[in-house]
Amino acid sequence: MTSSASTAPLARIERLPAAGVVVRGTVVVLGGRGETPEVYERFADRIAVDGYRVVAFGDVAVDHSGMVTAAAAELDATEAGPRVVVASDSGVATAWRAIADGRLAATGVVSAGALTEAGAGSVDAATEIEERTTCPVHRGKLAREGVLREGSLTSTSATDEVDFDLARGVEIPALVLHGDCDVISHPQDAFAVYDALPDARLYALEKGKHDVLNDITHRQVAAAVVTFLERLRTPELGLRPVAQSEYASLCG
């Protein structure tokens, strides 16, 4: 007998650039514990404004293999530009595992609030929204019926967590974002694992909580993601820091 998890369509949202704008690439979002795709509507809207097609799924635990298959299909449908996975919470472990074993043919990965065995904290339903974000708009969104499955942050499983071996297997460019006030995934333990990524840019969000893609600094985060996407799209072009003493060596 076929399970409903393998036959029922997975919930998703999709955002496209404005009419007439050439699609610059594809971003697929894998959500974390208790999340529905609607959690990522604001994030998807922001990234789509800059020319990227965004497809967001919810909690990967709903159907791990089915969600990876669906995400892979979205990436494979990309006609041009980078194919990037954005993952949060438990979605990070799923993304890293699928990238490492070749099931997700991504050109880059954005990891937000990854969970570790040593640093995973338990948060009850009464304080969950408060510990997820300080953004009042996002708190209001999470409080709406059907957007978040309450009580999902009380525990983790081994499949939810990243570790050093898993990080070493992610051999594509990575952007890492983690709130430095995250009590759901303690940043010290998470950054220890992030350091094992072969090619990563690591950022801590000052006073940031767990839902860094939707926290109070969501505009800065979206800008960092777009910068990462554009760097993947045109690696030979872009911004680089220049010290005052270097100006004489610049071309032109």
Residue 118 predicted with pLDDT over 90: no
| pLDDT score at 227 | 96
Separation between Cα atoms, residue 121 and residue 115, nearest integer Å: 9
pLDDT in tens, 45-54: 999 999 999 9
8-state DSSP, 62: G
Residue 247 predicted with pLDDT over 70: no
Confidence of residue 4 (pLDDT cuts 50, 70, 90): very low
3-state secondary structure of 178: strand
Paired with 115 in beta bridges are 161
Average predicted confidence (pLDDT) for the chain: 92
Please compute the mean of the pLDDT values over residues 153-172 and round it to a whole number: 94
Residue 1 predicted with pLDDT over 50: no
Residue 205 contacts residue 221 (beta carbons within 8 Å):
yes
What CATH number has the domain spanning 4-249?
3.40.50.1820
| pLDDT score at 5 | 43
| pLDDT score at 56 | 98
Q: What does the domain layout of the chain look like in residue ranges? A: 4-249
Closest CA to 123 of 103, 144, 151: 151
| pLDDT score at 246 | 59
136 exposure class (CB count in 10 Å sphere: 0-12, 13-18, 19+): exposed
| pLDDT score at 7 | 56
Please compute the mean of the pLDDT values over residues 48-68 and round it to a whole number: 95
